[in-house]
Copies of this chain bind each other. A is one copy, B any other.
Amino acid sequence: MKYASDVVERAINEFSKLPGIGRKTAQRHVFFLLKSTDDEIDELVRVLKDLKEKVRHCSLCFNLTEVDPCPLCSNPERDRSMICVVEEPNDVVAVEKTGEFKGLYHCLGGVLSPLDGVGPDDLHIKELLARLDEQTTEVIIATNPNTEGEATALYLARLIKPLGIKISRIARGLPVGADLEYADEITLSRAFEGRISL
């Protein structure tokens, strides 16, 4: 059975396409939008158009941006000697939140994943190598600490080390506030491996 209105059906179908949204949630979205004001709908429509028309990838670091190069790459206050390699633009946001890193970024656009058919040519690895110059002193690999992320980190290390540039990997260990008793063995052994002298 369908709604008496085709538009409502179409809207539910469109929202169901979003990741993690089933028919029931899509239905709630549509009913919410039906009760929204014209201005609210207009703003949503405008932002969708802008997303498609204005947002692109920075030609240097492949972060999302509206100007090329992106504000991070063109910021003269950023430390040009360090490049932090991440998987996706949202990882840049996560690292920036810490306020810990003042260098540049490079988004790979994914990780090596032979099972999904993602090889080195599908990632922005060539572009990363092209960015490394005499200014670069360190490349920090901040891919996710899972199998694919580790494999990608090792692959990049093998490419970059011969260039005489320091290459590092963000630490794996117990998250702050965690409990030793409930930590999994791999995390705990990584925490031991990565111990630092006090």
Contacts and interface: CB of A to CB of B under 8 A. Distances in A.
Interface in A13-47: 14, 17-21, 25, 27-34, 38, 40-41, 43-45, 47
Interface string A99-135: 0000000000000000000000000000000000000
A7 to B, nearest CB: 4
A55 B29 contact: no
Given A1-B97, A33-B51, A45-B45, A66 B18 contact: no
Given A4-B63, A18-B32, A11 B51 contact: yes
A71 B4 contact: yes
Contact of A51 (B2, B21, B25, B30): B30
Q: What is the count of identical protomers in the complex?
A: 2
A96 interface: yes
A49 B45 contact: yes
A45 B14 CA distance: 10
A159 interface: no
A19 B14 contact: no
